[in-house]
Chain A
Amino acid sequence: MFYRGIDEGKVISQEEISDGIFSLLIENKGAEAANPGQFAGIFPNSKDTLLMRPISICETKDKATRFVYRVAGKGTKEFSSLKEGDTVRVLANLGNGFPIEEAEGKCVVLMGGGIGIPPMLGVAKALKGNDVHSFLGYRNKDTFLSDEFMQYSKVYLASEDGSIGVKGNVLDALRASIYLKPDIIMACGPMPMLRAIKKYAEENGIKAYISLEERMACGIGACLGCVCKTVKKDDHSNVNNRRICTEGPVFDAEEVDI
């Protein structure tokens, strides 16, 4: 299924699930067609903010999309005040998503760092019943979504201050799990984490898919605002970079130069 369009989404519910982290459920057209790892552009209603905010899709529930986001600026601050019945313009579904079929039947490691954790929940859900291990990295013991990951996968925690799980990041937690031999890694999180995962995967001969983030304008591949460097010349751009909003946000770690 494929859906891409702009629609007046209706807020079903919203709650603050951790300090500054909100879970927003919106009924919007095409929700059921979303792939794990895709994202949506949500437009703030205020005219002070003109561009859409790219927010990863956490999971879909029937005709609704769940977004779990951190309040980081004017747009997300406005989203955090949305209440049941409010409407908001949603441009969805954007980007490619994770290759779920490629992971089926394999030992899969999912890695999420901070606000990169939410999109991995949809991946864990889609891979339910497979050998899935979710590594979730937090700043401290204020975790979120980890209970939900447990419904679909084994869960391993890491925290920067060591207050919960392994002290350090998700890769430290993976290294500590010496008996785990993943065939494939799928990850979303801050750039230093993704860089480290790319290197780790290459050194250990593991296939890795990473979801990148960049400031965006159009979200649909027209403005070329959100590109990343690639190892090879890209077919569309005819130069060594690809559009994160369109060919990404999920890339084979080997193809990107980050």
Chain B
Amino acid sequence: MNTKVTIAGVEFKNPVMTASGTFGSGMEYSMFVDLNKLGAVVTKGVSNVPWEGNPTPRVAEVYGGMLNAIGLQNPGVDVMIERDLPFLAKYDTKVIVNVCGKSVEDYIETVERLNDQNVDMFEINVSCPNVKEGAIAFGQKADALFNITDRIKKVSKKPIIMKLSPNVTDITEMAKAAEAAGSDAISLINTITGMKIDIERRRFILANKTGGMSGPAVKPVAVRMVYQCAQAVKIPIIGMGGIMTGEDAIEFMMAGATAVAVGAANFMNPYATVEVKEGIEKYMMTHNISDINEIIGCV
């Protein structure tokens, strides 16, 4: 049974990755899951300098999922190089660093700092809905997305994945812009902007007012967008959005994803990543699938 998938020349032992922001840099969850079993660890977004993130409350539960407005708090690229990357190097898994920034220059600085480190790919976060400057501003207009992709691609020594936002009129326009600018792959979806109000106190639940929705309720939207993008571009897709089980992951792959990422499910079950991997294997066995690549985009 082959579960290996390849994206931009990088071979993953299986298609299961962690969704950025839900898994730190793997250290906390390594108490629960064997990181060696994962296709890749995708780190929480890192910027050129430390970011404090948003005020609290930053998270809220909603029906079928949750909202978050962490605001990309991160210790900065230097701490990632000193602490997180050496930790991840101990494991036999691929490392994808998610990069965020307020300006194109910020992204470029971070990528350049990480170019010669133990990193297999960069995922470029142009879709976080929770920060005021940068991030999503680059991911909601095709020309801005093309420009930032092109500029990062010119300096990056590793393959890049542009992470797309679902908060757009037509996500295939964004996928096409990323592909045209040379992105090696795309990942989607980031969270869907949402809001929750405390009707007793007549106040927003989140200090940021809005937050990104994730969890099982967003899955049909994500599967649809993965399918649409798979029809629109030739570069590989990493699919995510509400994956809780192996069956969910199979659905994304049939829609056209080469790999998948498990996000909010980690909070609901710390073993979720490994259980998704085992669920995929079980599906392959019961359906006599010898190579996982057979099902990619099969619908």
Interface residues of A (CB under 8 A from B): 4-6, 43, 48-52, 91, 214-228, 236-241, 246
Contact = CB atoms under 8 A, between A and B. Distances in A.
B76 A222 contact: no
Interface string B211-249: 000011000000000000000000000000000000000
Contacts of B75: 236-239
A222 B68 contact: no
Contacts of A216: 59
B65 interface: yes
User: Taking each of A50, A226, A239, A241, which has the highest tally of chain B beta carbons within 10 Å of its own beta carbon?
Assistant: A50
A109 B266 CA distance: 39
B65 A220 contact: no
Nearest to B18: A222
Given A50-B267, A223-B24, A223-B267, 16 more contacts: A6-B269, A6-B271, A51-B66, A217-B66, A218-B22, A220-B31, A221-B28, A222-B23, A222-B44, A223-B22, A223-B68, A224-B53, A224-B70, A226-B59, A227-B58, A239-B52
Contacts of B31: 4-5, 220
Contact of A6 (B53, B68, B270): B270
B172 to A, nearest CB: 30
A48 B63 contact: yes
A72 B285 CA distance: 45
Contacts of B29: 220, 222
A236 B28 CA distance: 12
B289 to A, nearest CB: 29
A215 B58 contact: yes
Interface string B58-77: 11110111101010010110
Given A220-B29, A238-B75, A226 B58 contact: yes
B32 A224 contact: no
A176 to B, nearest CB: 32
Contacts of A215: 56-60
A1 to B, nearest CB: 16
Contacts of B271: 6
A196 B76 CA distance: 34
B215 A50 contact: yes
B204 interface: no
Interface string B264-281: 101111110000000000
Interface string B28-62: 11011000000000001000001111001111110
B21 interface: yes
7 contacts: A51-B61, A51-B66, A217-B68, A224-B24, A224-B44, A239-B75, A241-B52
A50 B272 CA distance: 13
User: Taking each of A43, A217, A241, which has the highest tally of chain B beta carbons within 10 Å of its own beta carbon?
Assistant: A217
A164 B24 CA distance: 47
- Which are the 6 A-B pairs with shortest beta-carbon distances? A238-B75, A225-B59, A222-B24, A222-B28, A215-B57, A239-B52
B121 to A, nearest CB: 21
A240 B61 contact: no
B79 interface: yes
A8 B65 CA distance: 22
A246 B60 CA distance: 19
Given A48-B63, A237-B75, A239-B50, A91 B57 contact: no
A125 B66 CA distance: 37
Contacts of A226: 56, 58-59
Contacts of A49: 61
Contacts of A4: 31
Given A224-B58, A225-B70, A241 B268 contact: no
A236 B76 CA distance: 11
B49 to A, nearest CB: 9
